[in-house]
Structure 1
């Protein structure tokens, strides 16, 4: 079983901690001015704890010419977020190359409620990969596994 979710990553994360006198009417927070610039990172973990390579989506039209770090997959998209086409790419590049994929047992992939996951074409692609698609409804009172196990520690490391 695997669980995947996207998370936005800002280039300029202002600190949650400030030092100011009690009663101050306004507090100036210095930033680099890049609060609105962000990328999307798709993180996935298998039930046995294996983390799949991060899938990074840059807000660009063309791929960078610079040498990119190994161990991550980088793609470009005009808005900088997951699309149906990128999800198909993620399924082929990350999910379909995970450890144990050659063992022909039926698997389950748990995703959030992004509309692009719920199309008949996407369900067919996942089915052809010998996997069942499970969707976690939005607004759940319990935290999703990726939010606690992947996204939070990932952002804390950044």
Structure 2
């Protein structure tokens, strides 16, 4: 199940007259950052979802990078209280061990870039008196994020966890998925080098 995306904006509250689309959550923070306070809010949010699915008594694992907001003691305690086990990816290994970096971020960002281009092609939000482009409304950005996230297939997310060896079957039958991307890169490299080798061969006929 894909949970709804959460957008964190700089500020205190949603500007008057704007309405956030259904299926996306909008939070505000003074600097627009994820903090330990928001992390604890997020844990509560996840726990409510798991309660609605009758899963609150079952253990769950959360995989995060080593950002300090994830690792503060109060956050760790909150995870434990809500039956979450926190797995921290060591610094420098997110490109290998974090599903978002491995397979999910690229299609999501591609979708988001397409949303922005389409918005710009329609004239965006117009220009200021000085002729500068007006920034997009928060509600518009939330709409872009929601549609971009919806367009990322469940299968991509499923496979990304397999490639990072997080949710693979313990009998070893899915271990090859960890190496599929590496094998693909090796095959492409060998093909490129073979083509270069072929180009260097001089064919001589008698």
- Answer whether TM exceeds 0.5 for this pair: yes
1:119, distance to aligned residue in structure 2 (A): 1.4
Partner of 2:62, secondary structure, is strand
Aligned partner (choices 72, 85, 89) of residue 136 of structure 1:
89
Instruction: Indicate the residue corresponding to 1:149 in structure 2.
Output: 103
1:148, distance to aligned residue in structure 2 (A): 3.0
Query: Which protein has the bigger strand share?
Result: 1
Query: Do the aligned partners of 2:5 and 2:25 also contact (CA within 8 Å) in 1?
Result: yes
TM norm structure 2 = 0.48
Instruction: Indicate the residue corresponding to 1:73 in structure 2.
Output: 25
Q: Which deviations, in whole Å up to 9, do the C-alpha atoms of 1:64-93 show, x marking residues without a partner?
A: 331111111101112111011111111112
Count matched residues. Answer: 108
1:62, distance to aligned residue in structure 2 (A): 2.4
TM norm structure 1 = 0.62
Distance 1:98-1:144 versus aligned 2 partners, 3 A rule: same
Q: CA RMSD in A?
A: 1.8
Distance 1:129 1:139 in 2: 29
After TM superposition, where is structure 1 displaced by more than 6 Å over at least 4 residues in a row?
none
Q: Which blocks of at least 5 consecutive residues in structure 1 are unaligned?
A: 1-49
Query: Do the aligned partners of 2:65 and 2:91 also contact (CA within 8 Å) in 1?
Result: yes
1:102, distance to aligned residue in structure 2 (A): 2.2
Partner of 1:58, secondary structure, is strand
Which aligned pairs between 1:96-107 and structure 2 lie closer than 5 A? 96-99=47-50, 102-103=54-55, 104-107=57-60
Query: Which protein has the bigger helix share?
Result: 2
Q: Which blocks of at least 5 consecutive residues in structure 2 are unaligned?
A: 113-206
Q: Which deviations, in whole Å up to 9, do the C-alpha atoms of 1:36-80 show, x marking residues without a partner?
A: xxxxxxxxxxxxxx2211110012232233111111110111211
Distance 2:101 2:6 in 1: 16
Instruction: Indicate the residue corresponding to 1:38 in structure 2.
Output: none
Query: Do the aligned partners of 1:55 and 1:90 also contact (CA within 8 Å) in 2?
Result: no
Q: Which has the higher contact order (CA 8 A, sep 6+)?
A: 1
1:131, distance to aligned residue in structure 2 (A): 1.2
